[in-house]
Every structure is written in C-alpha cells, then in structure tokens.
Chain A
Amino acid sequence: MTKTPTNWTGRDDAMVEDMIRRGATRRQLLKMLMASGVGVAAGGSLLMRAGAAHAETPVSGGHLRAAGWSSSTADTLDPAKASLSTDYVRCCAFYNRLTFLDEAGEVQMELAEKIETDDAKTWNVTLRSGVTFHDGKTLTSDDVLYSLNRHLDPAVGSKVNSIAKQMTEITKVDDLNLRIVLDQANADLPAILALHHFLIIADGTTDFAKANGTGAFICETFEPGVRSVGKKNPDYWKAEGPYLDSFEFIAISDDNARVNALLSGDIQLAAAINPRSVRLVESNNSVKTSVTTSGNYSNLNMRLDIDPGDKAGFVEGMKYLINREAIQKSLFRGLAEVANDQPVSPADRYHNPNLKAREFDPERAKALFDKAGLLGTEIPIVASDAATSSVDMATIVQQAGRDVGMNFKVERVPSDGYWSNYWLKAPVHFGNINPRPTPDILFSLLYASDAPWNESHYKSDKFDAMLSEARGALDEDKRTSIYWEMQEMVANEAGTAIPVYISNVDALSSKVGGLKPNPLGGMMGYAFAEYVWLKD
C-alpha cells in the first residue's frame, strides 16, 4: 500500500490533543507534528488547550459507576487468581501492595516504608506501622509473608507463580520487618512487588466470598459476572483520599453499548473503548478521553522450530511485509505507536530509541520468501478476537501478501479456549501481551530459552546470559546498554513481529477529575477508584 495519508491530519487532531494530555514532552510532539505535515502555526493552538487540564482541586463525595469490558463467573477477589481488568480494579480498591508505580513509571512506597538492598539479592522490607485491615486487624509481616508465599502453592493457581519462584527465601525479622532472598540478583524487585497479583491479604485468608484488605474501599457487594460495589473505608491509613463515597464496577462487553452507556450518563467511566469511538466521544463535550501508552500489544508469532518458521528468511520477510503504518492509522486511528518487534515499549525508561522499526518493503519480503521457497504455498494464520484486533491485522498482512504472490489463509477461531488451544501451538498465530513494569519480567517471561510463554520458541544462550547479567546489575548505564542490545537481538532473531504498541483509551465523564495515565495499564493502572473524584 503506497497510498500516503491525504486527509488524515484534519480529522485526527483529537490524537494530537491526547499526546499533550499524556504529558508528552514538547520535543516528541513537535517531531510528530512535523512527520504528519501540520504547519507549526496550527500546532501552536493545540498546545494552549492542553495546558488548562492540570490545575484542578479534588472534591470529596459522590458515587461513581465505571464499566470494564469483560467479566464472567470466573471473577474473583483473590489477587493471585486475578486474570481480567475487572478483577484488577476490584482488588486494587480493596487491597494495597508494598509498592506502586507512579505516572512516570517510578516506584513509590505504599505499605512498605522502605525497601533496601546492597547486592540486589537479599532485600530488607520495612512495613508502615498503624495500618489496619477492614476487620480491624493491624497489618504485620506475617500477613505479607502469607501473601507472598501462597503464590508458590499450585493449589492457589497463582498467575505469577513463574515470577514468584525467584523469591526462594522469605523470612520474618520482626512484626514490621522481613527479608526476601532471591535465587539470583534482580534490581527490579521493588517494581515486581508493584504487580496487582502481589496485593497483600490477611494472614490465613482462604475464603474469598468477601474481601478483607487494607484498601481504600470496603467490599459491600460482590456478584461474580454481574457487579461489585465498594464503600469508602473511613479509617484509611493514607492521609489523602479516597474522595468517592462509593463506587460500582460492572462490565459491558459490547464496545458500542459501553460508549452509549457513558454518553447517556448511566456510567461515568468506560474502560478501553474502541479507537473508532474516540471521534464520537471527542465530539461530545460532556465526555473526554484519557490515553495511556501502556505497552500492550498483539503480536504475530512464527514458531522457529516448525514449518514455515524454520525456513530461513521467512520470519524476516514477514517483518518487512507488515505495514505498521496502515495498522497504526487504519486499525487504531493513530492511537498506537509503531513498534520495532521487541516488547519493551517507549513508556519504559529502558526503551531503545535508536532501534528503528522495519519499514514496509513488500519487494524485499518477496525476495526473502522466494529464497525460502514459500512463494504461493498456502500458509494459515490463526487469529481470534481474544487477541485485540488480531483478525484485522491478519487481513492486512493477507492483503499485502496477495500483492506479492503469497497465499495467506486467515483462520478466525473462537476466543473460547484460544489461549490453551492455539496460542503457543499454531505455526503462525497471534498473541496478546499485557504491559509489564520491567524489561526483566518481559524477557524472562517471553524470550528466555526456558520462558513459559516463549511464543516463537526462540533459543539463544547469549540472550539468557545477558538477561541474568542485567538482572543483577545495579549500575544504570550498564543495565541500559545490555537491555538495548537485548532488544536489538529480539527484533532481529526472534520469530515475534510486534507491529504497534496499542494505546489504552479510557473515556470518562468531564465531571471526573484526577485520572492520570499509568504504565501498569488503563484506568490509572486499574487503581482509579482511590484517586479520582466527582465534580458536581
């Protein structure tokens, strides 16, 4: 597709405005405006409007009703089992964790007062004093011990079992102090403890019909697959907030229904709305959008160990065949950033900026396919609605393939059981990865030789060695240069093509204040309930 965008900028100034709202630095914004041919003068006015957004004072009281996109009978109040956005929102409201990531991705202390180490292998955690659970019990290191150890017990079925494995020894020092020893030095432990699954629950809790946490809200009603309601926790240990009296979280799976519910005022926050609805929301001044580049992406995985991935040149050919610009503009209406086939997104401070994304070069791809002897053979690509927009991405690749004589057959399969039946198994298929706070977690989960989710079965001892070396390195510059090189290796050698980092777009009523983007995901890292307020 060589058509240059003719009428794109005129209608998508909303995207520019979002860039500003995201606190994009002036330099990034100007670079973007230049690329799309908007004159500097026109750009000026946009900058002015953005300024007014920040200076607002919080207001207490009111009931906020928010809607996510999926919930089912599998909803849970057990942080370890949390799997969907609905679970994360609920758990973040009712529980707290040791640390939290702020807007810029920096680690802030929460239940922990301080976390220190000298060799990144043994860590001492000191808890904040005077924090009580909803049932009045005061927080002690026994609770933290229980909360962390339970991830290793298979009966719990914890989602972060593979990450928690590295904490070989967790011992209690006294009521407010404990020591964590890792099997290998890892400087990112504070960031890891900020994951939603590591929320702290009371010692010995097994029944999760009700939630007994230290969080900003007390669980009033919890109906799995229907709704959850939280009431303000009167003796919340934090000085500031929560501002809302109560909040209710439901799930509306149909995109349009969710946007319509927001527009008709039934809900005040609609999570993850479809990029195409942004224009609708922007045109209505009673609602506004909040865009977060959170590092979530849908990637095309080609297993290197079986046909056709094992044919030399096929993977590289595919990486040239993917029209990243078309995906970014037509599919996500600009609400995504072009990616360079590696998982660490620009929102992460270790992102390698000078690793250029492969530009769309069908001729070169054709030569590579010809060399691999695959021109004209029928190659199925498995896609599903379980992986965001993967079906449309597959169609775009199929269309580009058709122009160069490649015969791709898109197989749309039901999202029901996609992750257990097709993901990691089909020769060419789509996956979807949620944001992770640190490159170490991403690489150990996805690209290490023994990684549980090694989508393209990429094996490289050099990569594994660099991974553990970086993990222990305390010197920032050394760490950054290793991660930059690792990103280059993944981009060139791994069988995963990552076209774009999808921005998460939440829509909310203009009466809602205090919602700030967060690297842990949409809706302010799912912890919006504690920080937002309702202007009446």
Chain B
Amino acid sequence: MKPTTSPFRFMSPRQMGYSFNWVGRIGLAVIVFWALVAIFGPMLQPYSPGEIVDWDYFGPMTHQYLLGTDYLGRDVLSRILMGARYTVGIALVSVFLACAGGVVLGMVAAVIGGWFDMILSRLLDAFNGIPSLLFGLVVVAAVGSSIPVLVMTLAAIYLPGAYRFARALAVNVNTMDFVTVARARGEKTPYLILREIFPNILGPVLADLGLRFVFIVLVLSGLSFLGLGVQPPYADWGALVRENIGALSFGAPAIIFPSVAIASLTISVNMFIDNLPTKIRDRS
C-alpha cells in the first residue's frame, strides 16, 4: 500500500532514496501550508486586520466573514492570516537562535569540559532560576519593545534548555574513538565540534527543536501581552486566543479557529520531526 504523495512532489521519496511514512508527510504538508500562508497571507486577507467590519462581536461564520468576527467585530480570517506571519516567523527564528546557541555552547562545553563546562552549566542553571516574567519586563524597560527584541528575549529564555540537552548528547559522542583519533591527529576544538560531533547529534537536537518550537509559540503571546514585540493592530495567534478568551463561553469561532491554527501548526511540526525521512541503507 504505497500512499499517493502530495501532487507537486515530482519524485516519490522512495526514488530519492528516503523512506518517509505518511504521518511525517501530513506533518510536512501542514507546515508547508502555514509557511505559504505566512508568506502570502497579507495578500489573501479579505479585510484589513485592524478594521472593525461588523457591529456584532463574536459573530458566527457567515459567507461575508468566513471565520466569524472577534471581540471588537474584526474579521477573524484576516487576523489569522496576518497572525501567521508573526507566529510562524518569530517562533521559527527564535527557536533556531535558541537551539543554535544552546547546541554550540553545549558542544563546546562537552569538548573543553573541566572548569569551563562547570561554570557555564551553573550560569545557565542560574539563568533558569530567574522567572521569565521578570526577564521580559526588564528587557522591555531596558531596550524598549520591537520584533527583534522579542526574538532575542525568546531565544535567551529557551537557550539554557537547549544547552542542557545538547551538552548531554555531545558528552556521549565525545567519548567515541573517532573523536579520540581526530584529537590524536591534533585537531582543534572548532573542527571537532563542526565535523565530528555536530553531525552525530543533529537528529535528537531536531526533535528537541520541535518541542521547543511549541513552547515558544505559546510563550510568544505572553510576552506580547507584556508589551514586548507584536504591537496592535497586529497580533500573533497566541494573542488572538488570549484576547478572544471571552468567546469560549459562547463557543464562538473567534476563539476556536486561532486555537485550531496553533494546534495544527505545533502538532504538525512534532509529527514531522518525530517521523523524519531516513536514508535507505538497504544495499540492494
């Protein structure tokens, strides 16, 4: 039973030498969909995201407002399309920054070891001790709020976690013979990290990245609520859910669709990461 692949895929993964099960494919398809929405969203939105188009609030789905209206009477579909750019964009950049920083520091700590490793680990542990709320407030007060600041704050909050995870992996790979041989050859730390250790911890690091992406999407709205980052009339999906929470009592679409959007994005990211395409090693 070979599932049909999505239409625009020229060659099935099998011909390209990869096995890729259908769960992973669904995940990838949804991710690609939301990525496209993030890129072309603003062109597709029927109304401007800030414009109050209907007197009624938490309105039902009608042909005029496909996904109903929000608490102010603005079109939910337009706001979700606009929000996609922020949620997908900011979350992706932040998660990559956090994981890149965490993984590099983790590998350096594992390779150099000794006092450097101990101090760095303790510092980042201490950083975890500071509640993210205080950290967010301080950043707003010290640097003002803008999207880059929001991205850096999110990256800083999630870097210690990524560091701790990557360091544990790197320590195991560091004991392998091929690293010892490279060291015996006289290789320096940058080479050891880049070519010997990193390729071998990429798989689990990607899985961790998927999980962190989920957390960042949710914390994103918390920080915007603090006044850090996405300014009105724009908002990320988390903020849409937060501002329309009142609709829950009416079961109005204004709360349902932003939540569905978040859930579909985060679940598909994890479905894709858990079922990454693996190279077929069958020596036919």
Contact = CB atoms under 8 A, between A and B. Distances in A.
A and B touch in the complex (CB under 8 A): yes
Given A255-B246, A410-B231, 9 more contacts: A6-B55, A326-B52, A391-B232, A392-B232, A395-B50, A411-B231, A413-B140, A414-B140, A414-B228
Contact of A399 (B233, B245, B248, B249): B233
Contacts of A399: 48, 50-52, 233
A49 interface: no
B227 interface: yes
Nearest to A391: B232
Interface string A303-333: 0000000000000000000000010011101
A165 B246 CA distance: 45
A280 interface: yes
A277 B249 CA distance: 9
A417 B140 CA distance: 12
A166 to B, nearest CB: 37
A216 interface: no
A410 B52 contact: no
B71 A410 contact: no
Nearest to B69: A330
Contacts of B56: 7-8, 11
Interface string B18-57: 0000000000000000000000000000001011110111
A286 interface: no
Nearest to B58: A276
Interface in B46-103: 48, 50-53, 55-58, 71-73
A333 B58 CA distance: 12
Contact of A274 (B55, B141, B232, B246): B246
Contacts of A7: 55-56
A378 interface: no
A39 B223 CA distance: 49
Contact of B227 (A11, A333, A414): A414
Contacts of B48: 399, 402
B123 interface: no
Contacts of B147: none
Nearest to B53: A3
Interface of B: 48, 50-53, 55-58, 71-73, 137, 140-141, 145, 226-228, 231-233, 245-246, 248-250
B140 A398 contact: no
Contacts of B57: 276, 330, 333
Interface in A7-58: 7-8, 11
A1 interface: yes
B52 A1 contact: yes
Nearest to B59: A7
Contacts of B226: 414
A255 B242 CA distance: 12
Of the candidates A7, A398, A399, the one having the most CB atoms from chain B within 10 angstroms of its own CB is A399
Interface residues on A, range: 35 or more
22 contacts: A1-B52, A5-B55, A6-B55, A256-B248, A259-B249, A277-B246, A277-B249, A391-B232, A395-B233, A398-B233, A399-B50, A399-B52, A402-B48, A402-B50, A411-B145, A411-B231, A412-B145, A412-B232, A413-B140, A414-B137, A414-B227, A414-B228
Ranked 8 nearest A-B pairs via Cβ: A414-B227, A410-B232, A395-B233, A413-B227, A399-B50, A395-B232, A5-B55, A8-B55
Contacts of A413: 140, 145, 227
Given A6-B55, A394-B232, A398-B233, A331 B72 contact: yes
A280 B249 CA distance: 8
A498 to B, nearest CB: 20
A200 B73 CA distance: 47
Contacts of A256: 245-246, 248-249
Contacts of A410: 231-233
A425 interface: no
Contacts of A383: 232
Contacts of B231: 409-412
Given A330-B55, A395-B50, A398-B50, A280 B250 contact: yes
Given A276-B57, A276-B58, A416 B137 contact: yes
B246 A276 contact: yes
A406 B137 CA distance: 31
A330 B226 CA distance: 24
Contacts of B246: 255-256, 274, 276-277
A412 B227 contact: yes
A8 B228 CA distance: 35
A384 interface: yes
A245 B144 CA distance: 51
A417 B137 CA distance: 11
A178 interface: no
A529 interface: no
Contacts of A302: none
Nearest to A403: B51
B232 A398 contact: yes
Q: Which of B71, B145, B231 has the most CB of A within 10 A?
A: B231
Contacts of B71: 276
A330 B72 contact: yes
